[in-house]
Amino acid sequence: MFTGIIADVGRVQHIRPGPLAELTIATHFDTAAIAIGASIACSGVCLTVIAVEDGAFRVQASAETLTRTTISSWTEGTPVNLEQSLRLGDELGGHLVSGHVDGLARIVERRPEAESVRFSFEVPAELLPFIASKGSVALDGVSLTVNEIAGNSFGVNVIPHTLACTNFKEARPGQLMNLEIDTIARYVARLLGVSVPGAATATPDTISGLTP
């Protein structure tokens, strides 16, 4: 479990492609303190550490993870939002984030607003009922508050600190981000007998419900 408060922006250092891709991610974390088998949210995707070295750690991504997330489009140098798993007693600064991606959101607008930056995201229509104004979403692992919903898009405001300390600093229109709906929305849907759509068909090249 995570909080959506990013602790470091790492960089993809090396990728070994394949059905079980292996990624080496450079980080400012003290890698000597990272246990093999630990969970780290990598741009919102919960991945298991399989090896560590000085200044970097290695993780694997299965074929399903590659299909459901933006990882398949990562290249060497891609910035990656990093958060280590929550420990009992830690401050819950954002909201509860599981690291299980529900779909992909596309940035359709980035514009300055006062001292912050307003982003608008387009999402598959089937995920919109699980996103509420003033509710929480995780975008590439970043806990954000939804400002408004219009059509099949929603907007968030990113303050200067978040902009400087996450990959939102480099984010541009057309870019895809990993979207996780609020855990509360997931359980409300369960109680109401509404299934949360999977993202098996949502790939960086083909996203059901999004316009090209």
**pLDDT (tens digit per residue) in 187-199:** 566 666 666 665 3
Mean local confidence (pLDDT), 114-122: 96
12-81-1-136 Cα dihedral, nearest 10 degrees = -150
Percent of the chain with pLDDT over 70: 83
d(CA 140, CA 71): 11
Domains and CATH numbers, the chain: 8-84 (2.40.30.20), 103-191 (2.40.30.20)
| Lowest-confidence pick of 4-13, 32-41, 45-54, 122-131 | 122-131
Most confident of the ranges 19-23, 125-129, 208-212: 19-23
Helix (H, G, I), strand (E, B) or coil at 153: strand
d(CA 70, CA 50): 20
d(CA 161, CA 149): 24
The secondary structure element, H or E, covering residue 106 is strand 103-113
Dihedral angle sign, alpha carbons of residues 127, 133, 135, 140 = positive
Q: Is the pLDDT of residue 202 over 50?
A: no
| Lowest-confidence pick of 51-60, 84-93, 162-171 | 84-93
d(CA 180, CA 105): 10
d(CA 189, CA 181): 11
Confidence bin at 203 (pLDDT 50/70/90): very low
Mean local confidence (pLDDT), 158-176: 97
Mean local confidence (pLDDT), 56-81: 96
The DSSP string of 156-207 is EEE-HHHHHHSGGGT--TT-EEEEEE-HHHHHHHHHTTPPPP--TT--SS--
Mean pLDDT of the chain, nearest integer: 88
Q: Which pLDDT belongs to residue 204?
A: 44
